[in-house]
Amino acid sequence: MPSEDTEVAEAAASAPFPGLRVHSAPTELELYKALLDQMSDGVYVTDRERRFLYSNEAASRLTGYESHEIAGLSCQGHRQCPIGHIGHTMCQHSCTLSDCMNDGATREVKGLLRNKHGRRLPVAVTVQAIRAADGSIVGAVEIFRDDSASNQARRRSEAMERMAYLDPLTKVANRRFLKVSMDTAMREFKVTKAPFGVLMIDLDRFKTINDTFGHTCGDFALKLFAKTLVGALRPTDISGRWGGDEFLAIVRNVNLEVLGELASRLVSTVSRIPFASSEGQPIPLSISVGGALVRPGDTGNALIKRADDLLYKSKSDGRDRAKTT
């Protein structure tokens, strides 16, 4: 019969992080590896010398490097190492991995990752120290994700600001940009028949908020809702302030079911926003939404009018709801 020490040694040898001492049963280690391989974020594990001990499937997908290609290599001096190309300062002026293992503090950075084929990918990276049972630092784990969507959103915002397409109060797209986007979506629909829809959204009882708590409070409600709107929709959707307390979203590649789900998600999300006056008095927020899918022969104005009619039907039926067609 093998001793308990022998079983522990065998477990460590078969661990997904070779070289780091572990105290788990093999079945647990297999489970940990399977869970890491299911993650959409890339994961690297290194030892104190910054040698690669483990990488998950997402890391291979994002970087183009299979785990066996970098296993045992050090990011220091390895020209093709993906970690070595995340940002200018990460490895040339200072090493985030080394800094993390020196003081044990978690680091979060953003930069560009150059994959095996030379393509540069915006990434958001978190580096954390790995500690042994006695508290000593024995390595580090680096988790990184594709940051293209937020990077594109930042570039879009900067471009809109340069071209006077940004609403000065809410910092989202203004009516001018929404009209241009609507014209583009209509032209694409006529050529490709790719479905899209619009959501007209109105902040309920906005005049009451202004009259009761002041315009500063009303402005803050608009800014808070605009931020929520952008966060609740998909990165490919376009949203902005249509005018006053009315907002418009152009959502691509949807059917009626998806359009309804997006509208309902917005209503539900806004109803849960904590909001209060400057004196701390709670103020309930809600929205009414009308949504319409594009039809053959539509114009942009006709599509928006159908959505607007449904918006006011939502309001007349009691507010805090969505109607789509």
Q: Which two tokens stand for residue 146?
A: 């594709």
Q: For residue 300, what pLDDT band results from cuts at 50, 70 and 90?
A: very high
pLDDT score of 35 more than 80:
no
End-to-end CA gap in the chain: 70
Q: What is the mean pLDDT of residues 149-178?
A: 80
Q: What is the mean pLDDT of residues 16-34?
A: 54
pLDDT (tens digit per residue) in 249-273: 999 999 999 999 999 999 999 999 9
Q: Which two tokens stand for residue 141?
A: 């784990």
Q: Tell me, letter by letter, the H, E, C secondary structure of 185-207.
A: HHHHHHHHCCCEEEEEEEECCHH
Determine what percent of the chain is predicted with pLDDT higher than 70.
82
Tell me the three state secondary structure of residue 160: helix
Q: For residue 11, what pLDDT band results from cuts at 50, 70 and 90?
A: very low
Burial of 172 (0-12, 13-18, 19+ CB in 10 A): buried
Among 246, 227, 241, which residue's Cα sits nearest to residue 166?
A: 241
Residue type for position 298: D
CATH class, 150-324 region? alpha beta
Determine what percent of the chain is predicted with pLDDT higher than 90.
46
Residue ranges covered by each domain of the chain: 4-146, 150-324
pLDDT score of 99 more than 50:
yes
CATH number of 4-146: 3.30.450.20
Burial of 224 (0-12, 13-18, 19+ CB in 10 A): middle
Which H or E element spans position 210? Answer: helix 206-213
Q: What distance lies between CA 126 and its chain's CA centroid?
A: 15
pLDDT score of 37 more than 60:
yes
Residue 91: predicted pLDDT: 56
Q: For residue 4, what pLDDT band results from cuts at 50, 70 and 90?
A: very low
Burial of 318 (0-12, 13-18, 19+ CB in 10 A): exposed
Provide the residue count of the chain: 325
pLDDT (tens digit per residue) in 282-299: 999 999 999 999 999 999
Indicate the DSSP class of residue 136.
-
Backbone angle region of 174, left / alpha / beta, with phi > 0 → left and psi within -120 to 50 → alpha = beta
